[in-house]
Amino acid sequence: MNLSKILKNTFLVISACLILSACATKKVSEVGGQIQGDVYVGSDTVEYLASGVPDRVFFATNESILTTRSRDTLRKQATWLRKNSDVNVVIEGHADERGTREYNLALGERRANAAKDYLMTYGISASRISVISYGKERPVDSGSNPLAWSKNRRSVTVKAN
């Protein structure tokens, strides 16, 4: 990723925060400030591969772009995986229930691969990472509301062995 792209992404994130803080104070307080720019930032469903290494990252609706926060999580995973070179992982990609089943299968695969690619750029061999998409088949929160949906738009790194 070149510098201009990084800058552009940062700018997007900043502008998204600005828009949110400007117009959505009520919305954020409704869900306890757990969603930022359509992405879940809470810790409700999160599990840990090891102390301080969260197992999952969250996505905006229809997106597979990794947020700054997600990249931070994945770097922690990469660091941990480098130290634990005998561990292989499966990355499970998921979507929320607000999309057609087949498209969501593809979207889940795309999200899992976004996470995989990022781990690979931090030195984790592709042979240690497999991906599987569950589309919208395995929500972690059964609710039908924006907060539940934001928790379900995720990719989860799971130990394979």
Q: Which residues bind other proteins (CB under 8 A)?
A: 62, 64, 97-103, 105-107, 109-110, 112-114, 117, 132-134, 137-144, 148
Helix, strand, or coil (residue 62): coil
For 161, the token pair is 């062995």
Residue 59: how many CB atoms within 10 A of its CB?
29
Distance CA 64, CA 110 (A): 6
Distance CA 153, CA 95 (A): 5
Distance CA 75, CA 144 (A): 31
Q: How far is the CB of 90 from other proteins (least distance, A)?
A: 8
Q: How far is the CB of 102 from other proteins (least distance, A)?
A: 4
Q: How far is the CB of 16 from other proteins (least distance, A)?
A: 17
Q: Between 54 and 135, whose beta carbon lies closer to other proteins?
A: 135
For 127, the token pair is 């042979």
Q: Between 78 and 151, whose beta carbon lies closer to other proteins?
A: 151
Q: Between 81 and 107, whose beta carbon lies closer to other proteins?
A: 107
Q: Between 78 and 114, whose beta carbon lies closer to other proteins?
A: 114
| Helices 101-121 and 68-83, packing angle to 10 deg | 60
Q: How far is the CB of 52 from other proteins (least distance, A)?
A: 26
Q: Between 63 and 79, whose beta carbon lies closer to other proteins?
A: 63
Q: How far is the CB of 70 from other proteins (least distance, A)?
A: 15
The position carrying tokens 């928790």 is 151
